[in-house]
Amino acid sequence: MKTVLRRGYLCRKLGFTTIELIVTVGVMAALAAASVPIFRNFSPSYNSKHAARNIVSQMQLARVHAIRNRVTAVAVFYPKTFMPADQANSFLIYEDADNDWIQDPGETVILSRTKMPAKVNLQSATFTDNGSGELTQTTSCGFDSQGIAARNGAVYVIGDLKLQNDNNQERTITFHASGKTKISLP
């Protein structure tokens, strides 16, 4: 700021000089350029965390739906390696009216096929029986009308989902016999 004497009074000129403005803009541009790699690395982590939370919340909604409507709600997961490619990396939730763990025509879809967000892959979906000795693997899990893990025959279907982002960071979602879902880092 400059102080100027006019007609016997001191007057200050307010504002910036061109040099001050150029320096300020240059510093801001340098800071912005330096922060781009930080945000680029943050984005995949955020996406995988968001995807895991989305799956857990959709599973909780399916559980509430199963209890409220006294039905079995089944979630089917299509990992990255699942064929055909247009279904890969997604999941859907439906009412299983006849308890055959197959989505038949006419069964109500609770959540239509939902794709994983960009840069997040559904690596695996492995659900098994509750340790009865007979290994039954599937990419489906669900809730019965009481909100606990649905049974496939006489055993509860429990297991894990694994999500992986572009930085190879994994998140695991565990589905318990009690019907609870939990997100954990490996």
pLDDT band at 63 (very low <50, low <70, confident <90, very high): very high
Query: In this predicted model, what pLDDT tens digit does every residue of 110-157 receive, in sequence order?
Result: 988 888 888 888 888 887 754 444 545 678 888 889 988 887 665 667
Residues 6+ apart with CB under 8 A from 74: 93, 94, 95, 96, 101, 103, 140, 141, 142, 150
User: Is pLDDT above 90 for 65?
Assistant: yes
Say which residue, 81 or 67, is predicted with more confidence: 67
Domain residue ranges in the chain: 45-184
pLDDT band at 69 (very low <50, low <70, confident <90, very high): very high
Query: In this predicted model, what pLDDT tens digit does every residue of 20-49 receive, in sequence order?
Result: 889 999 999 988 888 777 666 656 677 888
pTM over 0.85: no
Torsional sign, CA 103, 106, 110, 116: positive
Tokens at residue 163, please? 């999500």
Q: What single string gives the DSSP state of each residue in 31-59?
A: HHHHHHHHHHHHHHHHHHHHHHHHHHHHH
Say which residue, 11 or 176, is predicted with more confidence: 176
User: Is pLDDT above 70 for 62?
Assistant: yes
Domain 45-184 has CATH 3.55.40.10: yes
Which residue bears the tokens 């439906």? Answer: 94
Q: Averaging pLDDT over each range in 53-67, 69-83, 146-160, which range is the top one?
A: 53-67
Q: Give the DSSP H/E element, type plus range, for residue 168.
A: none
Say which residue, 182 or 153, is predicted with more confidence: 182
Say which residue, 2 or 55, is predicted with more confidence: 55
Cα angle 92, 74, 145 (rounded to 5 degrees) comes to 140
Tokens at residue 8, please? 């016997």
